[in-house]
Structure 1
């Protein structure tokens, strides 16, 4: 009987450990940054101001639904890079979820990628992830966790757009 209780306890504790969010980014997997707060009052306006101060234009703002998104902004001032980052945030009770889309211009197409945490991918993805982390840190959350949503096995092409030059 004691063995049965012990097995059930180990099984349930193992399942609970697997269901928890990670506290550090998982290599080539995390594509969301979750900021945890005790109170999110006033953070919607503060985040909008942070975006504007960092050179982003607001694309969508809906306080009722808790959505704040930016227009794509050029990642560097270099003439050789046309990579642009758009940041999407969703406000829920006591959390704010950050995600990003990276637009990269090719020969005749514009490619849209999900921004993921990965050190070995090309520089634009790393810069995009670091930019999202810097903005998140400026909000001074109680804690930060990282999450993978969808199939994010590294840097993948999500959509392709034809350039209209």
Structure 2
């Protein structure tokens, strides 16, 4: 199997439908949450909604590069989002997250194998391979936080 295909499969597993590494994924954790639970903060911790939006922020930013655009994301803005204030807004966000992830997965699968070692936007960011792997690892890191927060919030009631 091509490396690009393997990376795309790992990203899909992390966000949309896998259980191999974490026994869950973002879609499983978020689809059944109501917006009030998703936006509830515990002390100074980020909410589940903020963490999901944070991962979507990077997914969407990398997707734009894959579509031929520029890299317009910055770490300093990666937690700055307008508040979600209804179930409809939450569901709309989730749909954008799933759709953007599906698009990125498709484009990663189509990536020529030799492109994985090409520079991603600028030499300081490393290669496509490094950025895709980094995005997957970053997603798992925050997925663990989401799982813990969800357990804490749902066990409170």
* Interval of TM-score (by shorter of Structure 1 and Structure 2): 0.3 to 0.5
Q: Which structure: larger Rg?
A: 1
TM-score (norm 1): 0.31
